[in-house]
């Protein structure tokens, strides 16, 4: 240390102020990160060329030559001749500006579409609140219950002077969010019970049931569970009882999510040191008191990051209801594309849909990674 100061004193003032140019500064950064070796230089040049070409042509297609609106004919049908001529040259974002209400909210009555819009905001608010660690207590369940009730009231209506809207005309983003969020909310208690059942030593028959449920559901694709819901559930019900299609899909989602979440919760239960349960036993707590007061509050905290990741998966998986004919976001995109004037602009619509999915998933995965880092930091202390 003192030696370094000594040598520094003999140096000219200018080099004292700045570290040597070879270590820092933009040129040094370029040299280490882009042109570190012959191999690295070659990769940089080739990739750089490709990226610049691709970005440039995408910019030309998506912005420079893009068409944002088209004239409408006397009957209200869009005249897409401009777009047809520009196929391959410029994007036709007019399809999104024309159809975004249909894609986002489906066939919900046009004048009432503020209701699904509020529902979407409610969901985003719910996710945000659940993400704040200060709210991780038992009262969070209450917030979820209240919000989900509010969602139901807003979507159905029929009270507070809101006109009744049947499930048949729901669609778009609210359906995607409802399937994923209600699926999580109802699957979670089920998953906790199944995870506890799977770890129980005293109840071998219950354990067997839980193992069978989890392994069978996890071994088959979601689409087969959805088929089961759409084709087999009606057969299960007594004649005359008809369950709505959306509800059937929702039940399928809950059953499916339950199995995956049960494994996540089981991971948390396993990660908890054995001593916690033993200490609770030593205090004379009953099984349910021990589970409710000691085990679950700690185990569930451990599994929040994988829980968020599983939720991201469900959020994407809701798109599968397209196959059984429910009108979620993706299906509404296809419906919008079935309109004759817009038929050849699927790329634009798919990019728009992808942007919505990416926005939700990216925010959640970013949050989950940050959370994981934070939790690990406190544990590594």
Partner 1 sequence: MHVAPILRAIGIKNRETCRTMSEATADPRLVAARAAPKRRMRLSWSDPVFRSVVWQIVIVGVVIAIGWYFVRNTTANLAARHIATGFGFIDRVAGIPIGESLLPYDPAVSTYGRALLIGVLNTLQVAVIGVVLATILGTLIGIGRLSKNWLLSRLAAFYVETLRDIPLLLQLLFWYTMLQGLPPPRQAWHLGNVAFLTNRGMRLPELDWQPAHTWALLAFIVGLAGTLIWNRRAGKRQEATGVRPTVWPVAVALLIALPVIVWAVLGAPFQVELPVLRGFNFQGGGTLSPEYFALMLGLVIYTASYIAEIVRSGIQAIPQGQWEAAGALGLNAGQVLRQVVLPQAMRVIIPPMTSQYLNLTKNSSLAVAIGFQDIVSIANTALNQTGQAIEGIAIIMAVYLTISLSISTFMNWYNAHIALVER
Chain contacts with partner 1 (rule: CB under 8 A): 32-34, 36, 40, 43-44, 47-48, 51, 202-206, 209, 216, 218-224, 227-228, 231-232, 234-239, 312, 316-317, 319-320, 322-323, 330, 334, 346-347, 350, 353-354, 357-358, 361-362, 365
Structure tokens at 345: 């602009």
Tell me whether residue 84 or residue 347 sits nearer to partner 1 (CB atom): 347
**313-338 burial string, b = 16+ CB within 10 Å, else e?**
ebbebbbbbbebebbbbbbbbebbbe
Q: How far is the CB of 303 from partner 1 (least distance, A)?
A: 16
Q: What are the C-alpha distances in Å from 328 to residues 151, 168, 323, 353?
A: 16, 12, 11, 11
Tell me whether residue 145 or residue 355 sits nearer to partner 1 (CB atom): 355
Q: Is 234 exposed, middle or buried (0-12, 13-18, 19+ CB in 10 A)?
A: middle
Q: How far is the CB of 20 from partner 1 (least distance, A)?
A: 21
d(CA 115, CA 131): 24
Computed from CA positions of residues 101, 104, 110, 114, in that sequence, does the dihedral angle turn out positive or negative?
A: negative
Tell me whether residue 21 or residue 47 sits nearer to partner 1 (CB atom): 47
Closest alpha carbon to 168 in 108, 104, 252 = 108
Tell me whether residue 12 or residue 26 sits nearer to partner 1 (CB atom): 26
Closest alpha carbon to 305 in 140, 136, 125 = 136
Q: How far is the CB of 275 from partner 1 (least distance, A)?
A: 21
d(CA 82, CA 90): 10
Within the chain, strands assigned E span none
Q: How far is the CB of 258 from partner 1 (least distance, A)?
A: 14
Q: How far is the CB of 273 from partner 1 (least distance, A)?
A: 22
Residue with tokens 């569970």: 225
Structure tokens at 366: 């970013």
Tell me whether residue 81 or residue 232 sits nearer to partner 1 (CB atom): 232
Tell me whether residue 18 or residue 373 sits nearer to partner 1 (CB atom): 373
Tell me whether residue 44 or residue 298 sits nearer to partner 1 (CB atom): 44
Tell me whether residue 144 or residue 186 sits nearer to partner 1 (CB atom): 186
Tell me whether residue 151 or residue 222 sits nearer to partner 1 (CB atom): 222
Q: How far is the CB of 5 from partner 1 (least distance, A)?
A: 31
Q: How far is the CB of 42 from partner 1 (least distance, A)?
A: 10
Tell me whether residue 33 or residue 270 sits nearer to partner 1 (CB atom): 33
Closest alpha carbon to 296 in 185, 375, 196 = 196
| Cα-based angle 253, 254, 255 (whole degrees, multiple of 5) | 90
Contact yes or no for 181/155 (Cβ under 8 A): no
The neighbour count for residue 147, using CB atoms within 10 Å, is: 19
d(CA 267, CA 286): 23
d(CA 299, CA 286): 18
Q: How far is the CB of 160 from partner 1 (least distance, A)?
A: 35
Contact yes or no for 119/151 (Cβ under 8 A): yes
């Amino acid at each position: 240390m003192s030696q370094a100061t000594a040598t520094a004193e003999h140096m000219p003032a200018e080099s004292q102020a700045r570290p040597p140019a070879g270590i820092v500064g933009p040129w040094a950064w370029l040299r280490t990160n882009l042109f570190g070796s012959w191999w690295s230089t070659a990769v940089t040049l080739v990739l750089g060329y490709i990226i610049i070409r691709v970005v440039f042509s995408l910019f030309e297609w998506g912005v420079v030559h893009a068409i944002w609106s088209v004239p409408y004919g006397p009957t209200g049908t869009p005249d897409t001749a401009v777009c047809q001529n520009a196929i391959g040259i410029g994007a036709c974002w007019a399809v999104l500006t024309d159809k975004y209400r249909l894609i986002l909210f489906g066939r919900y009555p046009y004048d009432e579409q503020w209701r699904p819009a509020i529902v979407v905001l409610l969901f985003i608010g719910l996710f945000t609140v659940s993400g704040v660690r200060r709210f991780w207590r038992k009262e969070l369940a209450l917030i979820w219950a209240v919000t989900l009730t509010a969602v139901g009231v807003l979507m159905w209506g029929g009270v507070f002077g809101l006109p009744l809207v049947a499930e048949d005309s729901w669609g778009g983003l609210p359906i995607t969010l409802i399937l994923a969020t209600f699926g999580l909310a109802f699957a979670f208690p089920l998953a906790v019970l199944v995870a506890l059942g799977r770890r129980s030593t005293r109840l071998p028959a219950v354990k067997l049931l839980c193992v069978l449920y989890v392994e069978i559901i996890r071994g088959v694709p979601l689409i087969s569970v959805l088929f089961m819901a759409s084709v087999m559930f009606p057969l299960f019900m007594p004649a005359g009882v008809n369950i709505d299609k959306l509800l059937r899909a929702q039940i399928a989602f809950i059953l499916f999510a339950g199995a995956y979440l049960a494994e996540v919760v089981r991971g948390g239960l396993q990660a908890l040191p054995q001593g916690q349960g033993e200490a609770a036993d030593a205090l004379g707590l009953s099984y349910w008191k021990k589970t409710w007061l000691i085990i679950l509050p700690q185990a569930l905290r451990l599994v929040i990051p994988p829980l968020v990741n599983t939720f991201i998966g469900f959020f994407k998986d809701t798109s599968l209801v397209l196959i059984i004919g429910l009108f979620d976001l993706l299906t509404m995109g296809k419906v919008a594309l079935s309109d004759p004037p817009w038929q050849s602009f699927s790329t634009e619509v798919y990019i728009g849909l992808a942007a919505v999915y990416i926005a939700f998933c990216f925010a959640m995965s970013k949050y989950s990674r940050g959370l994981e880092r934070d939790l690990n930091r406190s544990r590594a202390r």
